[in-house]
Amino acid sequence: MKPFLTALAFAALAVPSLAAAASPAVKVTDAWCRAAPKGALAGGCYLTLTAGADDRLVAVETPAAGRAEIHTMSMDGGVMRMRKLADGVALAAGRPVALKPGAEHLMLIGPTIALAPGAKVALTLRFQSAQPITLSVPVRTASMPSMGGMSMEHH
């Protein structure tokens, strides 16, 4: 074990630029899924992504729903509409991208687990360049329901 670790440490020190160019990791923070009533047809998950290099979130997979999609939300004549982002979400190097209520989000279509507070949703995020990331995302209630186009976030 020790020689292996030493070799790894040496390699990391010796070729930092090469290691970074190969497949920089994407950092995930503030991941949560919104609690939904029993029998809900869909549920939203939110998180913040910070890519080490220009990249793109291209897909999300989960065993907790029929399928998962990357969605965006926008106002259309006073009505909030969601649509699937076929090309995913662009991630600029070092710039946090927040997927949040009222904007880009991950949508669980046909949840197969109860989206109750305290439950965990396994999500696998797939990127154009970076390695996939699998997360266990906690379910919680939103601080307030979203109302129309107004932002009702607590501070």
User: What is the contact surface with Cu ion in residues (CB under 5 A)?
Assistant: 71, 82, 107
The CB-of-83 to Cu ion minimum distance in angstroms stands at: 8
Residue from 98, 118, 103, 110 nearest 35 by CA:
118
| Least distance CB 73 / Cu ion (angstroms) | 7
Q: What are 143's two structure tokens?
A: 């601080």
Q: How far is the CB of 134 from Cu ion (least distance, A)?
A: 21
Residue 42 or residue 113: which is nearer to Cu ion going by CB? 42
- Smallest distance from Cu ion to CB 62, Å: 14
Using the minimum distance from each CB to Cu ion, give the nearer residue, 34 or 71.
Answer: 71
Compare residues 28 and 82 and give the one whose CB is closer to Cu ion: 82
Amino acid identity for residue 105 in this structure: H
4 membership: H or E segment, kind and range: helix 2-14
Strand ranges (DSSP E) for the chain?
26-34, 42-51, 55-61, 65-76, 79-84, 89-91, 97-99, 105-111, 120-127, 133-140
Please report how close the Cβ of residue 44 comes to Cu ion at its closest, in angstroms: 6
CA distance 125 to 108: 13
CB 111 within 8 A of CB 64: yes
Nearer to Cu ion, 82 or 113 (CB): 82
Q: Looking at beta carbons only, is 123 or 130 nearer to Cu ion?
A: 123
